[in-house]
Amino acid sequence: MKVNGIPFRTIWPTADGAVEIIDQTRLPHEFVTLRLESMRDAEFAIREMQVRGAPLIGVTAAYGVALSMRHHASDAALQATCDMLAKARPTAVNLHWAIERMRAVLSPLPVNMRADAAWQEAGRIAEQDVQINQAIGRHGLELIRAIHQQKNETVNILTHCNAGWLATVDWGTALAPIYTAFEAGIPLHVWVDETRPRNQGASLTAWELAQHGVPHTVIVDNAGGHLMQHAQVDMVIVGCDRVTSTGDVCNKIGTYLKALAAFDNGVPFYVAMPTPTLDWTLQDGVQEIPIEERDAEEVTHVSGLCDDGQIRRVQLTPKGSPAVNYGFDVTPARLVTGLITERGLVAANADAIRAQLI
Amino acid sequence: MKVNGIPFRTIWPTADGAVEIIDQTRLPHEFVTLRLESMRDAEFAIREMQVRGAPLIGVTAAYGVALSMRHHASDAALQATCDMLAKARPTAVNLHWAIERMRAVLSPLPVNMRADAAWQEAGRIAEQDVQINQAIGRHGLELIRAIHQQKNETVNILTHCNAGWLATVDWGTALAPIYTAFEAGIPLHVWVDETRPRNQGASLTAWELAQHGVPHTVIVDNAGGHLMQHAQVDMVIVGCDRVTSTGDVCNKIGTYLKALAAFDNGVPFYVAMPTPTLDWTLQDGVQEIPIEERDAEEVTHVSGLCDDGQIRRVQLTPKGSPAVNYGFDVTPARLVTGLITERGLVAANADAIRAQLI
């Protein structure tokens, strides 16, 4: 999508065999691109969330494997590369999916063919992500269009965290239907959950919607229930980091609370899910999905732009108070109206998922 | 309660006829007291949230009337004072309750007796607040004790916003049971919701619990649902700004989301309610209670302590993104396990409220 009027993706290969990314830790106040030259650069970018969002993490890991194969393409090097990248973030299933796909393609090949093959395969994964998101956009568009036809007014959509184009290679998952509907001329407005502690909504989602010209309003994570009680939300669309075979959805911490409020107020709650995010091995999301616990300083401190133009980090809590920082929660399938996949809308239950997606 | 080992209240009359308060906008990084010398000082303190919390707002308004009566005690001055103070914050019913109580006491009196009477009446309101909170503490203690007797381990209590002693004259409402149980030797731990946008949990609740030595952990507002899903919360206790005659609870924005999560996970959800907070005129909280909309900059910007020791305000959102800031939401009575009042535990329904509190 566009930044300052220029089309960008979140990750792209350079002419001289490196990879560039947008440093998402600098947004929304600074637009900076970074050059990745090694597997370690890619691992660092994933771990430090310079890239984030399940699909983009997967593509970055694939390019990380490709960058590594340039230098060392032996079986041992491939194994070590995959092991290291897999540990960069514990929750995102796409990370493992992308790494295993690279391994499956590269393992059977002679060592001297692996570097070129890895480069091409990473590119294919990136292209497929774009195609998946465009398809999610088309399917989601129909849901938004139906609400607009019934309401004949601006459609208000609430989203949590950033599942926009910045979380993918392009278009986004949760925001793909929104961009697609916006470009189809449907009047819409997005409620952007701030998404503490890392504020991906207030920083990334707000930034990309603003860059693209989509009407939106930032709200604190506490506000969505009140808005739903007062009929200010027509639908919720969120992304996901991992979905069980039964339709339980692991996504950014706080998603579950919005799903409860949507259910309580009869607001449809949709999850945009690229099918690689589905984890067929899991049945009970709350019990089985490990939840990443991140640095408490993400809770106690926050960064932003000072009046003098400097980006500074400030402490919010008193010195003597500990904090804890869970990155994700699990929304039980019973609260999910539907999964918007690249293969169409799928009900969030084991039968529908098996019937439509196996 | 204690600050640096010294007993404090949140508001107190000085020997020379002024009123002092703790400037709560400076917490948790600086402990500063302020002197109020006029009704305008009191109105400013309420409006700018140097004092906040429904009970403390009421007491500050009462002292505001008293400060005004020193200078002008005519019927017209009394009317103008009450009108001005009543507008300082739109949602808190205690504000109106305290002002009407002052008016009822002062109106029948000769003009020259009003100043002294106002001073004494404001003091009585403050003392009654302390007694109410101590009684809430005793009733809430029994609920915490019962959980501890059943569990025989540390009792985990989640609270939202600040309904501690800083929100009242002393002890607090939601935190009174916690302080009382802590002093009774019951092992407990408090999950402190950060409470965006103004972070009263991360700043005020964490600060006062730390000062008093109560074990606690700060979490983002998004985290409570996840904790409840994993049996990390034994009970929720929150305060309230206004409660309808049917038991609907208006409290800090986001309370409703925690009530939904508690209900979904079978966690008891209690509201500490001084009976002056009850608004007998209301039946349907969601429809009838006006919700204060505050400055959007409270969402887009946040203040905290920089590494260099300066308190600075930073912007979280991109420049082109609007925000909206609703101060409160309404939790329907069906989600409330009980109201902890100074007169005992009351079920959150019209019959019980009428039977026990009329």
Instruction: Please indicate, yes or no, whether residues A61 and A102 belong to a single structural domain of this protein.
Output: yes
Instruction: Please indicate, yes or no, whether residues A122 and A142 belong to a single structural domain of this protein.
Output: no
pLDDT confidence of residue B53: 86
Can the peptide bond before residue B28 be classed as cis, meaning omega within 30 degrees of 0?
A: yes
pLDDT confidence of residue A53: 86
**Residue at B257 is within a domain:** yes
Instruction: Please indicate, yes or no, whether residues B220 and B332 belong to a single structural domain of this protein.
Output: yes
Number of compact structural domains in chain A: 2
Query: Is the Cβ–Cβ distance between A171 and A137 less than 8 Å?
Result: yes
Arithmetic mean of pLDDT, A126-153: 97
Q: Do A305 and B314 touch (CB under 8 A)?
A: yes
Arithmetic mean of pLDDT, B189-203: 97
**Residue at B43 is within a domain:** yes
Burial (CB count within 10 angstroms: exposed 0-12, middle 13-18, buried 19+), residue A111: middle
Q: Do A257 and B222 touch (CB under 8 A)?
A: yes
Q: Could you tell me the pLDDT band of residue A223, with boundaries at 50, 70 and 90?
A: very high
Q: Do B224 and A257 touch (CB under 8 A)?
A: yes
pLDDT confidence of residue A4: 87
Half-sphere exposure of B140 (CA within 13 A, CB side): 36
| Phi, psi (rounded to 5 degrees) for A26 | -90, -15
Cα B128 to chain centroid, rounded: 15
**Residue at B133 is within a domain:** no
Q: Provide, rounded to the nearest whole percent, the portion of chain A with pLDDT above 90.
A: 93
Give how far B321 is from chain A: nearest CA, Å.
Answer: 6
B154: Cβ contacts below 8 Å, ≥ 6 apart? B187, B188, B189, B215
Query: Is the Cβ–Cβ distance between B77 and B68 less than 8 Å?
Result: yes
Cβ of A321 under 8 Å from any chain B Cβ? yes
Instruction: Please indicate, yes or no, whether residues A95 and A121 belong to a single structural domain of this protein.
Output: yes
Give how far B119 is from chain A: nearest CA, Å.
Answer: 35
Tens digits of residue pLDDT in A280-312: 999 999 999 999 999 999 999 999 999 999 999
Q: Do B321 and A192 touch (CB under 8 A)?
A: yes
C-alpha span between B114 and B102 (Å, rounded): 10
pLDDT confidence of residue B92: 65
Instruction: Please indicate, yes or no, whether residues B101 and B32 belong to a single structural domain of this protein.
Output: yes
Global confidence as pTM? 0.93
Cβ of B286 under 8 Å from any chain A Cβ? yes
Nearest by CB to residue A314, choosing from B27, B221, B312, is B312
Domain that holds residue B121: 2-128
Q: Which of B228, B260, B317, B325 to mutate to test the interface with A (most CBs of A within 10 A)?
A: B317
CATH number, domain with residue A109: 1.20.120.420
Q: Do B318 and A221 touch (CB under 8 A)?
A: no
Cβ of B201 under 8 Å from any chain A Cβ? no
3-class secondary structure, B125: helix
Arithmetic mean of pLDDT, A172-179: 98
Arithmetic mean of pLDDT, A311-340: 97
Give how far A3 is from chain B: nearest CA, Å.
Answer: 13
String of b and e for B282-319 (b: at least 16 CB within 10 Å)?
beebbeebebbebebebbbbbbbbbeeeeebebbbbbe
C-alpha span between B38 and B63 (Å, rounded): 9
Q: Do A221 and B254 touch (CB under 8 A)?
A: yes
The residue from A170, A234, A241, A329 that is catalytic is: A241
Instruction: Please indicate, yes or no, whether residues A180 and A273 belong to a single structural domain of this protein.
Output: yes
Instruction: Please indicate, yes or no, whether residues A82 and A179 belong to a single structural domain of this protein.
Output: no
**Residue at B29 is within a domain:** yes
Which ipTM did the prediction report? Answer: 0.92
Could you say which residues from 123 to 162 on chain B have a Cβ atom under 8 Å away from some Cβ of chain A? Answer: none
Q: Which of B55-59, B144-148, B240-244 has the highest mean pLDDT?
A: B144-148
Cβ of A231 under 8 Å from any chain B Cβ? no
Whether residue A329 lies in the annotated active site? no
C-alpha span between A192 and A148 (Å, rounded): 19
**Residue at A229 is within a domain:** yes
Asked whether residue A91 carries a pLDDT value surpassing 70, the answer given is no
**Residue at A343 is within a domain:** yes
Cβ of A264 under 8 Å from any chain B Cβ? yes
Tens digits of residue pLDDT in B14-51: 999 999 999 999 999 999 999 999 999 999 999 999 99
Chain A positions in Cβ-Cβ contact with residue B223 (cut-off 8 Å): 253-254, 324-326, 329
Tens digits of residue pLDDT in B304-348: 999 999 999 999 999 989 999 999 999 999 999 999 999 999 999
C-alpha span between A106 and B8 (Å, rounded): 69
Q: Provide, rounded to the nearest whole percent, the portion of chain B with pLDDT above 70.
A: 99
CATH number, domain with residue B333: 3.40.50.10470
Give how far A66 is from chain B: nearest CA, Å.
Answer: 34
Instruction: Please indicate, yes or no, whether residues A124 and A218 belong to a single structural domain of this protein.
Output: no
Tens digits of residue pLDDT in A227-285: 999 999 999 999 998 999 999 999 999 999 999 999 999 999 999 999 988 999 999 99
pLDDT confidence of residue A92: 65
Tens digits of residue pLDDT in B236-264: 999 998 999 999 999 999 999 999 999 99
Instruction: Please indicate, yes or no, whether residues A292 and A273 belong to a single structural domain of this protein.
Output: yes
Quickly list DSSP for B274-341: -GGGEETT-S-HHHHSPPPB--THHHHEEEEE-TTS-EEEEE-S-TT--B--B-EEEE-GGG--EEEE
Q: Do A219 and B264 touch (CB under 8 A)?
A: no
pLDDT confidence of residue A151: 95
Nearest by CB to residue A257, choosing from B207, B225, B306, is B225
Helices A54-71/A39-47 angle, 10° precision: 160
C-alpha span between A277 and A171 (Å, rounded): 17
Chain B positions in Cβ-Cβ contact with residue A195 (cut-off 8 Å): 222
Nearest by CB to residue A222, choosing from B257, B305, B306, is B257
pLDDT confidence of residue A41: 98
The residue from B41, B193, B221, B241 that is catalytic is: B241
Q: Could you tell me the pLDDT band of residue B91, with boundaries at 50, 70 and 90?
A: low
Cβ of A269 under 8 Å from any chain B Cβ? no
Cβ neighbours around A185 below 10 Å, total? 8
Half-sphere exposure of A198 (CA within 13 A, CB side): 23
Nearest by CB to residue B304, choosing from A209, A260, A316, is A316
Instruction: Please indicate, yes or no, whether residues B122 and B143 belong to a single structural domain of this protein.
Output: no
Instruction: Please indicate, yes or no, whether residues A152 and A298 belong to a single structural domain of this protein.
Output: yes
Nearest by CB to residue B220, choosing from A29, A253, A258, is A253
Instruction: Please indicate, yes or no, whether residues A198 and A245 belong to a single structural domain of this protein.
Output: yes
Q: Between these two residues, B277 and A314, which has the higher pLDDT value?
A: A314
**Domain boundary residue, one of A104, A128, A152:** A128
**Residue at B118 is within a domain:** yes
As a residue count, chain B comes to 358
Cβ of B322 under 8 Å from any chain A Cβ? yes
Q: Could you tell me the pLDDT band of residue A55, with boundaries at 50, 70 and 90?
A: confident
**Residue at B155 is within a domain:** yes
Nearest by CB to residue A304, choosing from B227, B315, B320, is B315
